[in-house]
Amino acid sequence: MFITFEGIDFCGKSTQVELLRKYLTDRKKIVEIIREPGGTTISEMVRSVLLDKVHENMCSETEIFLFSASRAQLVREKIRPYLMKGYYVISDRFHDSSTAYQGFGRGLSVDAIINIHNLAIGETIPDITFFIDIPVGEAENRKRQKLHHELDRIEVSERDFFEKVRNGYLYLSKDKRFRKIDGMQSIEAIHNHIIREIELLEKR
């Protein structure tokens, strides 16, 4: 099963990925966790170009191609081989992040981005995608607890950008692949919701 987590920065994805990993491994499932952008030697190098604050002049078109280049490599080098071997593959962000951030956030054509996804990931579409939704104000509260130098090039963006990204996710999450979860609940309540959804999907 291929499971992805989405949402604006600080929504709680990494926390939930880790809890789900533990839940599945406790049940003797074999699990592989993927980090986007990154996860292969090539993808990690692309990641460092993408997130380095030195590159403040990077244009949106370059961004979408770099994120997609990193993902194309990850899909072929890791995700597909692991799925073939029967692993649960869990990715903290995947193609929906590019649609939300570069499409809705930066204003690139969503249709063009969907065409790029077709080339980069092809048929490797997640079985289920958890969108953890928090208001931008809550993300800012959580962000304030971090030191500025710990934030990457995209995390330092303005509030207006994250409002657009969140609206993008709200739109995307109407698709039946998505499960929208209220990220203002406790960590435990969100985790319980996620495992209920996974169990329901497995019974199908």
Q: Is 143 in the site for ligand ADP (CB under 6 A)?
A: no
Q: Is the peptide bond before 37 cis (omega within 30 degrees of 0)?
A: yes
β-strand partners of 34: 91
Q: Which does 187 bind (CB under 5 to 8 A by kind): ligand TYD, ligand ADP, none?
A: ligand ADP
Q: Which does 12 bind (CB under 5 to 8 A by kind): ligand ADP, ligand TYD, none?
A: ligand ADP
Based on CB atoms, which residue is closest to ligand TYD, 28 or 144? Answer: 144
Closest CA to 196 of 101, 128, 126, 124: 128
Q: Which residues of this protein are in contact with ligand TYD, per CB under 6 A?
A: 9, 13-14, 36-37, 51, 67, 92-93, 97-98, 101-102, 152, 154-155
Q: Which does 103 bind (CB under 5 to 8 A by kind): ligand TYD, ligand ADP, none?
A: none
Query: Of residues 2, 3, 11, 173, which one binds ligand ADP by CB under 6 A?
Result: 11
Closest CA to 21 of 89, 107, 118: 89
Non-local (6+) Cβ contacts of 94 within 8 A are 4, 6, 36, 71, 121, 126, 129
Provide the minimum distance between the beta carbon of 109 and ligand TYD in the complex, in angstroms, as a whole number: 15
Closest CA to 49 of 24, 25, 27, 66: 66
DSSP-assigned letter for residue 90: E
Is residue 99 within 8 A of residue 114, CB to CB? The reply is: yes
Q: Is 37 in the site for ligand ADP (CB under 6 A)?
A: no
Using the contact rule CB under 6 A, the part of the chain among 2-10, 26-34, 67-75, 112-120 near ligand ADP is 2-10
Provide the minimum distance between the beta carbon of 36 and ligand TYD in the complex, in angstroms, as a whole number: 4
Q: Which does 133 bind (CB under 5 to 8 A by kind): ligand TYD, ligand ADP, none?
A: none
Non-local (6+) Cβ contacts of 64 within 8 A are 98, 102, 108, 113, 116
Q: Which does 117 bind (CB under 5 to 8 A by kind): ligand ADP, ligand TYD, none?
A: none
